[in-house]
Chains A and B, each alone.
Chain A
Amino acid sequence: MSLPGNRTRVLCKFFAHGACLKGEHCEFSHDWKDPANNVCTFYQKGACAYGSRCRYDHVKVSQRQASASSSAYPYQFAVSESVNASSASATAVPGLIGELSASSRPYISPAKPAWGEGSGQDDLLNDVIGQSRSTNPADIVMCSFAAAGNCPRGDNCPHVHGDLCPTCRKQCLHPFRPDEREEHRKSCEKKHKHLEALKHSQEIECSVCLERVLSKPTAAERKFGLLSECDHPFCISCIRNWRSSSPTSGMDVNSALRSCPICRKLSYFVIPSVIWYATKDEKQEIVDSYKARLRSIDCRHFDFGNGACPFGTSCFYKHAYRDGRLEEVVLRHLGDEDGQTVIAKDIRWLIGEVGIWGMLRKGYFFKMY
């Protein structure tokens, strides 16, 4: 029988799918370099109900290897831990089915597992109980019912109930894992704050269509359009509509269309957001995450260096070449009337003033050094 220490570590399949609840206490490897185990355990026992449609490999391996990397293994290990103190008998299978029954008496397994021959089942269980005897309190597995909010077994539950989280009111804080407690507390608080903000946002009305933004008929419309320079609420469709509407005669684009419809403060961009912020910091957070998101998307004007982006270095999108190299930031120099060189700090402002064709006509680009 191989011990966890000297066995080659197998990639945790829950980790591979993006969510392993055990975190650093997981028995399996959370390192992408380790090989994934893709062997179907049911096939090893002789019968896989999925047949050729099974997502796992149908190959024969030796009995020991199969049991060590069984797909049902993580579950059984999890529950057997707390039971082995009272009844280490092999007949009390604390399997997934036992976990689901709400009765407080010990669960007696059916003589034969429903899914197969079950010849290797007892060996497997003995292996599990044998190797998992541990004294580290951090290895204790908590009751998942209590962690989810309510354990029907109450005080009779053989599993450890976690401490109460003050934010989510669930018994989900592990008594012996300080890191995990802290992590949960943080994420829980963040979630709670987000919910509060969302609740508050429900009340906010768009000043243009006069409707509650989050009660609009289609999902695409249920978004705020934040203006960078002021704090007046609009829905994304209204503010984009206004900013893109064609200017009527005598209307100045910068002072009318690009400004806030209420306070007329000029904003250069609109940030879509599903929640409305309460503080400056929250707004900054929304703006930053929006910009970070755009920075991961390749700019279609820049087109991996094949095109030219009119926004230049102030573009929110990624300017990278095909080989992954980022565009170098080069200061743009413009010649002014006296033949002196000036640095065009805000190329967008210039474009806003005369338009890109206007700049071409005036020879701005040809004067560049």
Chain B
Amino acid sequence: MANVSRIHRELMQFSKDQSILGMSLMADDDDVRHLTATIPGPTSTPYDGGIFHLDITLPDGYPFDPPKMRFTTKVWHPNISSQTGAICLDILKNNWSPALNLKTALISLQALLSSPEPNDPQDAVVAKQYLGDYATFVATARRWTEDFAKASSANFSGKVHKLVEMGFPEALVKKTLEAVGGDENMALERLCPK
């Protein structure tokens, strides 16, 4: 069983540093082991200005086992799968230590965005482009940031409001919008019962 009191302590500590970091971390109301986080794209990178959403699941062995993290916002990055959002980062795998925590892991992810490791890729296509045609890589990454990371942050609440007015519950709307990377039409498609 995961150490719930440690998770609560981490959340409390995080809320103190939240404003400095510009990140957010929220636990599910019914299960503290399932969290959502947002990290801002680092400045002077193609991800600048974007807000990236993450889905975090804490395994039973936490903090002795690393947290499972996945980007829900689509990202064009050699170490992040462009399809699933899976992350390749050593501290989330075999270099995890129980002295690390969610805050340090999120900071590491932000650092990963600013310094990709194309030689140890998660997404081979992106890595190949990064090494072969850097200009195109930057352009693609910036466009993906514009399309998926910014749109959702700019009028996210507007979209939520619109969908809620259509008669969907707010929590479900937010979750669905996050899952599809802020695309209003895709969210609507998912929300509508088949």
Q: How far is the CB of A286 from chain B (nearest CB, A)?
A: 22
Q: How far is the CB of B9 from chain A (nearest CB, A)?
A: 5
Residues of B within 8 A of A207 (CB): 98-99
**Which residue in B61, B94, B99 is a CB contact (below 8 Å) of A256?**
B94
- Interface residue B133 (Cβ < 8 Å from any Cβ of A): no
Decide if A252 touches B97 in the complex (CB within 8 Å): no
Decide if A262 touches B94 in the complex (CB within 8 Å): no
- Supposing A209-B3, A242-B98, A261-B99 touch, asked if A248 and B65 sit within 8 A by C-beta, the answer is yes
Within 8 A of B (CB), among A347-369: none
Decide if B97 touches A261 in the complex (CB within 8 Å): yes
Within 8 A of A (CB), among B64-105: 64-65, 93-100
Residues of B within 8 A of A245 (CB): 61, 64-65
> Which of A208, A250, A256, A262 lies at the interface centre, i.e. has the most chain B CB atoms within 10 A of its CB?
A208
- Interface residue B5 (Cβ < 8 Å from any Cβ of A): yes
> Which of B10, B96, B98 lies at the interface centre, i.e. has the most chain A CB atoms within 10 A of its CB?
B98
Residues of A within 8 A of B94 (CB): 248-252, 256
Residues of B within 8 A of A211 (CB): 5-6, 9
Give the residue name and chain of the A residue nearest to B64 (CB): A245
Give the residue name and chain of the A residue nearest to B13 (CB): A210
Indicate with 1 or 0, residue by residue over B33-73, a CB within 8 angstroms of chain A CB atoms: 00000000000000000000000000001011100000000
Decide if A209 touches B6 in the complex (CB within 8 Å): yes
A→B interface (CB under 8 Å): 207-211, 232, 238, 241-242, 245, 248-252, 256, 261-262, 264
B→A interface (CB under 8 Å): 3, 5-6, 9-10, 13, 61, 63-65, 93-100
Q: Could you name 5 residue pairs across A and B whose Cβ atoms are closer than 8 Å?
A: A208-B98, A211-B5, A238-B98, A241-B64, A248-B93
What would 19 more interface pairs be, CB under 8 Å, given A211-B5, A261-B98, A264-B97?
A207-B98, A208-B6, A208-B98, A209-B3, A209-B63, A210-B6, A238-B98, A242-B64, A245-B61, A245-B64, A245-B65, A248-B94, A250-B94, A251-B94, A252-B94, A256-B94, A256-B96, A256-B97, A261-B97
